[in-house]
Amino acid sequence: MTTIDISEESLARESSGLLRTLLKDRTTNKSIVWATHSYELLGKGFGLYDRITPSKVTGPYANLIQPRSEKSKYEQKDRTKVRAEVFTPTGLVKQQIDTVDQDFQDQDLEAYLNLKWLEITCGEAPYMVSRYDTVTGQALELEERVGFLDRKLHRLSQQVHEEEAWFQGAVTAYQNAYGYEYQGDSLLLARENLLASFIDYYQAKFDREPSPSQKQTIAQIISYNVLQMDGLTYTSPYTEQAKEAVQLSLFEEIVEQTSQPQKAQIKDWKTNELIDFERLSQGEITMKFDVVIGNPPYQEEGGARDEPIYHYFIEESYKIGNKALLITPARFLFNAGQTPKNWNNKMLNDEQVKVVKYWLKSNEVFSATDIKGGVAITYRDSENIFGKIGTFTVFETLNSIVQKVENRSDFSPFSEIVYPQGIYRFSNKFFEDFPEAEQLQGKGTKNKIVSKSFTNFDFAFFNSVELEEEYVKILGRSGTERTYKFIKKEYIDFPEPFTNYNIFVPEANGSGALGEVLSTPLIGHTDTFLTIGNVTTEFEANALLKYIKSKFARALLGVLKITQHNSRSTWAKVPLQDFSSRSDIDWSQSVAEIDAQLYKKYGLSQEEIDFIESKVREMD
């Protein structure tokens, strides 16, 4: 059985040159740096900027660097939080590589070995070589390994039996296997895993270990191909120099200068040259990866909220690879989340991108990890046309319903009558009369009437009043209960829908029920709710309420509603109706009868009707 941890002490004893090679940063020609806070408590030499030398991982520190599965639970969680890392189980690695590897099965051995693969943000390199499951730590026998370099070595062993020819084939395979990682400890583990895998396959094939010179040759290739790099800036971590005072001339002021981080370099083995990795992204050189694959970081911690970064990795992967296969959060598929809307639309309309697999519940893939909106494997192939994703739905039948609805000439989105969150606001008069309210309101809220306004401003909101004509009623929440409070009219800036009939729906809800409230004119609400409607008659309001409760409307709401939020944009696939008595829908009928009319109006097949009826819960 494979031992998953590789002893740096043993490497050093076997050959000090071998360990030094695996610690080499070919960009700086020095050792790689820690680039993590994990070891700082050990003192000098273990900080972010410090280089990992052989003495830092041998002797008293011989067992310092451990695979992720061997680390303490606390450190695993900490690194997951700080770096937004989720660690990739072997089954998922296999599924991703299988998707693209099937395209290469007809290639001869030489062409197959020469395919250039890159694993981005590689961690311990599970996509390159899977000596063990990086999540569970379970060791894998040779026949169970699924990495792209594993597959090359498997095939090499099946087809080549002469020792020197096998070794030259392995050299070719390693020269075309690339990866990059930011943190020094993970990078060393990745490099060690690649070297150990070479030894494993050699030993299995020839019943003996490779020679020291063969190990050194492979280690040298690894040190060039698996590099320490920030994947967003293409720089080598912590290579900028500290600020120094410089006086340019006798009569000028002293200024502080800081050197720029050094651009990370990669080796092109065909030309035997080191080139700036950034030049691949800029298209300045002919070298390109056949496949870019991986599981990039998802976000970085920001101020008010964590900002997504995975879309940058997707974008760069498309620039440097002919094929790119990544697993990431899936909210962009629904044009939701914090990724830029123009980028979302570009992805959804790219005819060379397809969704390989989608999981609504991320913990089905990454245990104990909750990623709102789920995760997806997306595949872009610059040499194939898949057809644009357009509107992404999990169910094929639902997608056909969307097409029938949107292709009608009279289609308008229901979102046109859904108002954005926070349309009810405090007036300037409110802050003039209560100057302390500005501080109580909190940063970012400005003059919005928010969920905590009832509590924070209990001096202005009342349960009952004597002269109701001077006050306005506001719907909100007190604890877990819905409640109405009164506030003076002069303290509110009223939006357009205030004077008409509306439906109030919670801005967020976890169940299928929306919790709708039909509101007569002259009632407002906190930002816990959204306004839908702005209709002039009670008949229209009742029709609108029935429509929102219909299975048809809620099925189409589900296309874009992938989290608990009912934002305006989630209603964009629901068709707007005429809610007056002149409508082509008889709104006096029951919700079930209205559904039947809607099915007929949009020409739904029996299969599509059965889908809606079975998937959407009936509402009272």
Cβ atoms within 10 Å, residue 55: 11
Task: Show Cβ contacts of residue 464 under 8 Å, excluding neighbours closer than 6 positions.
Answer: 486
What angle do helix axes 606-615 and 396-406 make, rounded to 10 degrees? 110
Q: Are strands 321-329 and 375-381 parallel, antiparallel or unpaired?
A: antiparallel
Q: DSSP secondary-structure letter at 488? A: E
SS3 449: coil
Cβ atoms within 10 Å, residue 209: 13
- Per-residue pLDDT band for 254 (boundaries 50, 70, 90) equals low
* Predicted local distance difference test score (pLDDT) of residue 507: 86
SS3 458: coil
Q: How far apart are alpha carbons 461 and 485 in whole angstroms? A: 6
Give the DSSP H or E segment for 167: helix 163-175
- Per-residue pLDDT band for 260 (boundaries 50, 70, 90) equals confident
Question: Is there a domain that residue 312 lies in?
Answer: no
Question: Is there a domain that residue 355 lies in?
Answer: no
pLDDT (mean) for 23-49: 95
Closest CA to 276 of 260, 263, 294: 263
**Domain ranges, residue 437:** 414-615
Is the separation of the CB atoms in 550 and 620 below 8 Å? no
Residues 281, 425, single domain; the answer is no
Q: Are strands 226-228 and 244-247 parallel, antiparallel or unpaired?
A: unpaired
Question: Is there a domain that residue 356 lies in?
Answer: no
Specify the number of domains making up the chain: 2
- Per-residue pLDDT band for 240 (boundaries 50, 70, 90) equals confident
Q: How far apart are alpha carbons 108 and 114 in whole angstroms? A: 10
389 vs 70, 344, 459, 570, CA distance in Å?
40, 11, 52, 17
Least confident of 43-52, 344-353, 564-573, 586-595: 564-573
Question: Is there a domain that residue 261 lies in?
Answer: yes
Residues 577, 442, single domain; the answer is yes
Share of the chain above pLDDT 70, in %: 91
Contacts 24+ apart (CB under 8 A), 482-489: 482/517, 483/454, 484/523, 485/454, 485/461, 486/461, 486/462, 487/460, 487/461, 487/462, 488/460
Q: How far apart are alpha carbons 13 and 154 in whole angstroms? A: 30
Q: How far apart are alpha carbons 461 and 434 in whole angstroms? A: 13
- Mark which of 237, 266, 295 sits at the end of a domain: 295
Question: Is there a domain that residue 210 lies in?
Answer: yes
> Which amino acid is residue 10, in one-letter code?
S
Q: How far apart are alpha carbons 267 and 118 in whole angstroms? A: 13
Question: Is there a domain that residue 257 lies in?
Answer: yes
* Predicted local distance difference test score (pLDDT) of residue 302: 52
367-382 burial code (b ≥16 CB/10 A, e <16): eeeebebbbbbbbbbe
Average pLDDT, the chain: 90
259-273 burial code (b ≥16 CB/10 A, e <16): eebbbbbbbbbeeee
pLDDT (mean) for 483-488: 96
- Per-residue pLDDT band for 159 (boundaries 50, 70, 90) equals very high
Q: DSSP secondary-structure letter at 31? A: E
Q: How far apart are alpha carbons 593 and 585 in whole angstroms? A: 10
Question: Is there a domain that residue 434 lies in?
Answer: yes
21 vs 221, 263, 318, CA distance in Å?
9, 20, 31
* Predicted local distance difference test score (pLDDT) of residue 476: 95
Closest CA to 320 of 120, 508, 583, 104: 120
Tokens of 67: 């695979």
- Mark which of 295, 316, 339 sits at the end of a domain: 295
* Predicted local distance difference test score (pLDDT) of residue 252: 58
What angle do helix axes 538-549 and 551-560 make, rounded to 10 degrees? 70
Torsion sign (Cα): 329, 334, 336, 342: positive
Question: Is there a domain that residue 21 lies in?
Answer: yes
pLDDT (mean) for 257-284: 89
Give the DSSP H or E segment for 498: none
- Mark which of 295, 328, 348 sits at the end of a domain: 295
Task: Show Cβ contacts of residue 8 under 8 Å, excluding neighbours closer than 6 positions.
Answer: 19, 54, 57, 58, 62, 65, 188, 192
* 440-466 pLDDT, tens digit each: 987 778 899 998 999 999 999 999 999
Give the DSSP H or E segment for 25: strand 24-25
Give the DSSP H or E segment for 296: none
Q: How many CA atoms, within 13 angstroms, populate the side-chain half-sphere of residue 305?
A: 7
3-state SS string for 177-228:
EEEEECCHHHHHHHHHHHHHHHHHHHHHHHCCCCCHHHHHHHHHHHHHHEEE
Regarding pTM above 0.85, the answer is no
Q: How far apart are alpha carbons 89 and 49 in whole angstroms? A: 31
Task: Show Cβ contacts of residue 71 under 8 Å, excluding neighbours closer than 6 positions.
Answer: 79
